[in-house]
Structure 1
Amino acid sequence: MSLYMLRRAGVYLFLSLAAFLSVFPFFWMAVGATNKSTDIITGKMTPGSNLVVNFQTLLSQVDLWRVFGNSFLIAIVSTILTLAVSSLAGYGFEIFRSRVRERIFQLLLLFLSIPFAALMVPLFVMISRAQLTNTFTAVILPTIASIFILFYFRQATKAFPGELRDAARVDGLKEWQIFLFVYLPTMRSTYAAATIIVFMNAWNNYLWPLIVLQTPENKTITLVISALTAAYTPDYGVILLTTVLATLPTLVIFFVLQRQFVQGMLGAVK
């Protein structure tokens, strides 16, 4: 066997091992959702017959449809508002030039180094004084102005063809019309990639909702999973089933927008 074939075999072996390590937690989670808690503790790795019982137990403990409705509402509204604000800001930072533009942008990037733990107390004080505690608005507002997504859109706007903008201006379009009717359709792969990132962050958000959402009626799916694991005798079958259900929306969105996500991350413009 040639050296080239050995190298290719080594590469495929490494990739196969990496794929197995990546997929195995999802496989174990899906299998565990069909088993009893005692079977999961003993390490059973084959599908069981307890899926229906686990689902019935989950429904008896949690208002599942309300919880998913809360999570979807927060994630969808957060995604729409974040994309709207961040794409406008990223477009403006790249298109409109001024003396202080770069200094302001550098200051915004500097804020990325501040951990959220340092902002929780003053942010909670602001939310409390605005009487927004225990509302979805309190969860959504702090996520709208995302500096990372702003930075992402500004970098993507560098690839936006200037000829299209100039042609639109010659045709008499105003700047907001250029943004809506030229920029948005051209940068759809960028929006798709940003949609996946923002939606997943909003869907999986745990710490801030834990602080501001104080009643069971407003809990999100991440808070429910945390509450199930904190029980005195946790039912691991129910916990894994809930985790599987919580993972499905993000998987669906990723697979639907997968091609556009890759194009957007590579900076492709169509």
Structure 2
Amino acid sequence: MTSAADRAVAQAKAPANPWRPVRRAIVYVLLSVAAFVSVFPFYWMIVGATNTSADIIKGKTSVGSALVTNAMTFFTQVDAVRVFWNSGVIAVVATVLTLAISSLAGYGFEMFRSRTRERLFAFLLLLLSIPFAAMMVPLFVMFSQAKLVNTFTAVILPTVASIFIIFYFRQTTKAFPTELRDAARIDGLKEWQIFLFVYLPVMRSTYAAATIIVFMANWNNYLWPLVVLQTAENKTITLILSGLTAAYTPDYGLILFGTVLATLPTLIIFFLLQRRFVEGMLGAVK
């Protein structure tokens, strides 16, 4: 029998595959095209914020000189402080509550075994097939009867128990070392103490990834806030930008400037947590 060293020498002496550079070139070309398609809309948004509406309609792709004009017009027409405050409160509170409740549910589904556990979890996954538009009418009736329409509570509550985030935490909890939980029990810790002082620090990458996903979803939420928020002082930035596009002659420079501002919070959150985000999506546990 040939040894591993002999096989390595034989592979080294084998002629190189002539198609390997071609395949590599094709891969790089496809990746370059995908990168361009992904980055160009963001580039167009930033450049458009510096141009007039007429230049944007003409398809100008270079930086213009209308940035100050667009900024002054935006802050004149929009109460930016209130709008961003509304979006921030909804996004932050909803993110904190969603992570707290959904991570507890995911932890419980994985750690506590019962006969009905898998059936209940399968039922939750089945609910993912129901589009949110089909639930808006009963949700609106329910919040209307509770006199919560036109409040931030009505926007936040339907997002708190996220089935996808519960599923995500349950799947990542499978990699959680059970030895740590057993050792904590031997030391006398109760289950809530194990969750707070053992599980939470170990799963910080999972929490970082979930924070980005949930924050972006709540910050960019449009359909449900459009239905339930009915006064101008409670509008979020996505609703305000949508209203600007509905004008008879929309000012695209103004709209793109507002879009750039609306994108900044999610970019900041992503860049702050991007390393943990990659680890969390890969299921890394430290």
1:129 matched to 2:139 = no
Give the aligned partner of residue 213 of structure 1. Answer: 229
1:260 matched to 2:276 = yes
Identity of aligned residues (%): 76
Q: How many residues align?
A: 270
1:21 matched to 2:61 = no
Give the aligned partner of residue 113 of structure 1. Answer: 129
Give the aligned partner of residue 251 of structure 2. Answer: 235
| Deviation, structure 1 residue 209 | 0.2
| Deviation, structure 1 residue 252 | 1.2
User: How many Å separate the matches in 1 of 2:250 and 2:262?
Assistant: 18
Give the aligned partner of residue 181 of structure 1. Answer: 197
User: How many Å separate the matches in 2 of 1:248 and 1:2?
Assistant: 47
| Deviation, structure 1 residue 6 | 2.0
Give the aligned partner of residue 11 of structure 1. Answer: 27
Q: Secondary structure of 2:275's match?
A: helix
Letter in 1 for 2:216: M
Higher Cα Rg, which structure:
2
TM-score normalized with structure 1 length: 0.98
1:48 to 55, 64, 74: 64
| Deviation, structure 1 residue 2 | 4.1
| Deviation, structure 1 residue 11 | 1.4
Written as runs of structure 1 = structure 2, the 5 A alignment for 1:66-215 is 66-215=82-231
User: How many Å separate the matches in 1 of 2:19 and 2:113?
Assistant: 55
Q: Which runs of 5+ in 1 are unaligned?
A: none
User: How many Å separate the matches in 1 of 2:227 and 2:277?
Assistant: 32
Which shifted more, 1-10 or 133-142? 1-10
**C-alpha RMSD of the superposition:** 1.0
Q: Which runs of 5+ in 2 are unaligned?
A: 1-16
TM-score normalized with structure 2 length: 0.93
Give the aligned partner of residue 248 of structure 1. Answer: 264
